[in-house]
A = this chain, B = another copy of it.
Amino acid sequence: MNRSIDKELDGPRACFIAAGLDVLGERWALLALREMSLGVHRFDQIARNTGASRDILTGRLRTLESRGVIERVQYSEHPPRYEYHLTTSGAEVAPILISLAAWSSAWMRDETPRASYQHSCGADLQPVVSCAVCGEEFAQGSLMLGPLVSAAGAEPASED
């Protein structure tokens, strides 16, 4: 089991973390998604609230749209004006934002006053991540490599 760690990779590790970062890891992408999660949908506001340059933001929004994370919704025809909304896929980025906010809140406190986050129950953000299958909380070192998978489905084990 977990032979994959010891085996020499012939190139960079192709995994779902790397694939996710391909889309969400570009600068400003997660902050733009944060804004939409908070109900901010218009270009100028997203640009202001994130601090992204307008040209770069345009590019990011196009990428996120092409990857199905957000969609452009036209709200004016003349002139053409659009709002940006999360798709289902985009809404499901929330756990990433939640984990990031919680980690940052726990470890990145400095003098700067910052907006914190809460669960809708009113409590400070204290997310617990557990396994949907066995119900156990993810503990130290409980993230492990699994088999290779692609759109076609799981691959059979390799012969090493």
Encoded as 1 (CB less than 8 Å from any B CB) or 0, chain A from 56 to 78 comes to 00000000000011000000000
Given A12-B48, A13-B115, A152-B111: A129 in contact with B128 (beta carbons within 8 A): yes
Chain A interface mostly helix, strand, loop or mixed?
A: mixed
Question: Of B89, B108, B112, B129, which is within 8 A of A127 by CB?
Answer: B129
Within 8 Å CB of A125, what residues of B?
143, 146
Number of A residues near B (Cβ < 8 Å) is 94
Residues of A in contact with B (beta carbons under 8 Å apart): 4-5, 9, 11-25, 27, 30-31, 34-35, 37-40, 48-51, 68-69, 89, 91-121, 123-134, 136, 138-152, 155
